[in-house]
Amino acid sequence: MLKRKFTDYLKQWKSTKQKECLLVRGARQIGKTFIIEDFARNNYESFVEINFEQYPALKSAFNGELTVPEMIKGISVYIPEARFVPHKTLIFLDEIQACPQARASLKFWAIDDNYDVIASGSLLGINYKAVPSFPVGYERQVDMFSLDFEEYLWAVGFSQDTINSLKEHFVKQEKIEEPIHRKMISYLREYMVVGGMPAVVNQFLATKNFGIVHQEQEKIISAYLNDIAKYAETADRPKARSCFLSIPKQLAKENTKFQYSVVEHNGTARKFANSLDWLRDAGIVAYCYNLSALQFPLSAYVRDDQFRIYMGDIGLLISMYGFEMKAALIDDTLEGPAKGGIYENLMADILHKKKYPLYFYKKDDSSVEIEFVLTHGTSPLPLEVKSKKGRSQSLNTVLMWKGIEKGYKFGMSNVGVVDNKITMPLYLAMFL
C-alpha cells in the first residue's frame, strides 16, 4: 500500500473538526477513494459508503427532507446493512458532484454532528450551478493530488531518515556527495516518466516495466478524454479536448505561455477560455499566471490574460509526448525547447502539490524571464529552472533589483551559493 501524506491530514481533521464535513477535491484516479476507505477501516467502528456515479439510485435518498433521520432512512432502503453508530461512524459520499442535493446536505450532517462525513468529487467545479444551497461554514474543502516526489521516494523504498538527511542539505545549503547527487537525479528522472498516479506507480513497483507504465498512463488520458465527452457542455466538448491535447505543444515552444493559436489557427480566448477553465475545474491542469511586476504582494500584480498551463501530473505529460520520450528523459538525450517546458512542468508539479499559487515573470519588452515566483516574508522569491547546466542571466539580473533578497536556481547542478543566488538540484525543490 502506498504511503500518502493525506492520511495524516484526515487524522488531523478528525481530531480537530467542529461541526464540519470534509470535502475532498481532486482529479480522477489520484487515490481519493482508496485513501478515505483505508482511513475509515482504521479509525471507525462503522463505515457507510455511497458512490453516486456507481449507484445513481441512491440520489433519491437526498430528494426529500434533508434532515439526518430522513437521510438515514433513505440510505437504509438501498443499503440495509448500513449501521449508523453515533460518533463512531464515517459516512463517505463519493463522486458527490453527481448528486447536488447531497452536497447541500453537508450542512445538516454537520449541524447534527453525530456522524463524521467526508465527501469527495473529481468534477466538483463542473456542476457548481446545480447545487441548490452551498453548505458555507459547514464544510472544510481540501485539495488532493497524485503522489508528490517525496511520496514517490517512500514508494520506491526511501526511509524518512534518508529524506531528512537530504533536507538538511537544503536547509544548510551544503553540497551533497556526488554519488548521492547522481543517484537522486536518476530517481527524479524516473519520477518524471512514471509520475504520481497511484495505479501507475503500483504497476511500476510491481513490474519495473516502462512499457506497462505507459499503457496505464494512456488509460488515464483516455479516461480524461471520456470525461470531457461525457460531462463538458456540448458546445465545449471539442474545444476542451483540443485545449487538452495542445498542452504538449504549448510546452514545446520557446515561449511556453499558453497561446490559443496553437489550439487552432486564429483561435481566441473568447472561443476557448471556458473550455480551458473546464480542465482546471476538473483538476487536470494548473494555471500559472504572469506578473506585471516583481513586487509584494504578488496577487496584486497578476495578469489574468497571460498564463501558462501545466499538467497536474508530470508523468501524464510525458506519456502524451509518446513512449520514446521516456527513454530520452531517463538517458538525458533530449534537447530543444521541449526539454525546458518539461522541466518547468516538473517544478509546477512540485509547487502545485505543495499548494503554492503558480506565478511567473516575463515582460514583453525584456528578455528577463523567471519561471516561478514565490514569496519569502514580504520579498518576492524568484525561482529559475534550468534543464541543463548554463548561465542564469535573468536570475542574475533580478537579484540586483530593489526588494529582492535572494533567489534560487534549480537544475541538475549540486548545491552552491554565490552571494544571494542559491543553486539547488531540482530534487531538493520538494523542501521549499
pLDDT for residue 196 = 98
What is the residue-level pLDDT of the chain in tens, covering all 432 positions?
A: 899 999 999 999 999 999 999 999 999 999 999 999 999 999 999 999 999 999 999 999 999 999 999 999 999 999 999 999 999 999 999 999 899 999 999 999 999 999 999 999 887 665 555 565 667 789 999 999 999 999 999 999 999 999 999 999 999 999 999 999 999 999 999 999 999 999 999 999 999 999 999 999 999 999 999 999 988 888 889 999 999 999 999 999 989 999 999 999 988 988 998 889 999 999 999 999 999 999 999 999 999 999 999 999 999 999 999 999 999 999 999 998 899 999 999 999 999 999 999 999 998 888 899 999 999 999 999 999 998 777 789 999 999 999 999 999 999 999 999 999 999 999 999 999
Q: Where are the domains of the chain?
A: 6-143, 149-431
Q: What is the pTM of this model?
A: 0.94
Distance CA(35)–CA(121), nearest Å, equals 14
Please state which CATH class domain 6-143 belongs to: alpha beta
> Are the CB atoms for 408 and 422 separated by under 8 Å?
yes
232: left (phi over 0), alpha (psi -120 to 50) or beta: beta
Q: Which residues have CB under 8 Å from 412's CB, separation 6+? A: 185, 386, 387, 388, 389, 425, 426
Least Cα distance to 191 among 432, 427, 379 occurs for 427
